[in-house]
Structures are given as C-alpha cells and as structure tokens.
Amino acid sequence: MTLDLIAMICAGAGVAGIFLLLRKIVGARLPKWALPAVIGAGMLSYSVWSEYSWYGRVAAVLPDAVEIVSVPVDQSALRPWTYLFPPSTRFMALDRTVMQVSANNPSFRQTELMFVTRWQPTRRVPLAFDCDGGRQADLADGGMLASDGTLTNAVWIAADKADALQRAACREG
C-alpha cells in the first residue's frame, strides 16, 4: 500500500512537470489554477488504473503451473461505481508446482491453495484430494495424507462435480 501511495505521488509530480513544460512552451497562457487540477486528475487516474489492473498484472506473472480457480469481485456502497465496474482485489489459485501424487494410488494428491489478496501477504493452505472419490480435505491444522489415502488430523469432505478446485487438482498434466 505504501508503494501505491509513493507511485501515486510520483504520477502527480510527473503530470505537474509535463503541465509546467507545456505552460512554458505556450507562453504561460494556461491558467495557474489548472496545475492543482491536473495534478489531482493525474493522481486519481493512476489510482483507478492501479486498482482495476491489479488482478491482470498479478495473474500475468504467475507460473503456468499455478491455476486460478476463483476470482471474486468487490462491490461496496462506499464506492457506488463498483456496482457497474467491480474490481478484483483477491483470488484463489491452486499451486501445481508443489503437487504430490501418491505412488500407491494416483487418485490421492496433495498440494497448496494460494489466497492472494491485494496489500496482504499471500496465504497458502495445504489440501488433500481424492480424485476418484470426489473428496477433499483441509490439512492446515497439521493434517497428513498417507500414500494409501488415510488422513490424520483431517476429515474428508465431499466435493461437488462442478467444483473448480476439485477439477483443477484432479486434472492431469
């Protein structure tokens, strides 16, 4: 968040420099009151661009093995324009780079779910999947998955066939 504030101030300073240069070129025919208005517009424009392009910029730099499974949008009465143009400031992604497939039964898999939120550190939650049985388990509280599918300190939960997380974890390749 601090970097966004610094970048917004730099955007305002850059726009001010361009305005002052333009004012010098046209011979000071631009009104002086326009300088703070142009600075404000530049800072506001950067802030809106940064808010609405955050998800696309972050998703573009993820490795191919990280699959985004959910992208909720944010709407707020304090920002009524978000009902027309809702931004995405968080998403969930399945990290296939750390996926472990059971040697005894390839139906059992373990990997991490990443919770990526703007201005917050990424949280990782370990999960287990039973692809043939259509189940998943949260291993965050010290749960363990044995190669035969036995869970310790966790409970299997039935997953819907249309569950994007289950489909992503069970997809081959």
127 CB-near residues (< 8 Å, 6+ apart): 110, 111, 112, 113, 136, 137, 138, 139, 165, 169
pLDDT exceeds 70 at position 30: yes
Q: For residues 121 and 98, what is the distance between their CA atoms, to the nearest angstrom?
A: 19
Question: What is the residue type of 40?
Answer: G
Q: What is the pTM of this model?
A: 0.81
Res 173 pLDDT > 80: no
Domains of the chain, with CATH numbers?
Answer: 2-60 (no CATH), 66-170 (2.40.128)
- For the stretch 124-158, pLDDT in tens is 999 999 999 999 999 998 888 887 878 888 999 99
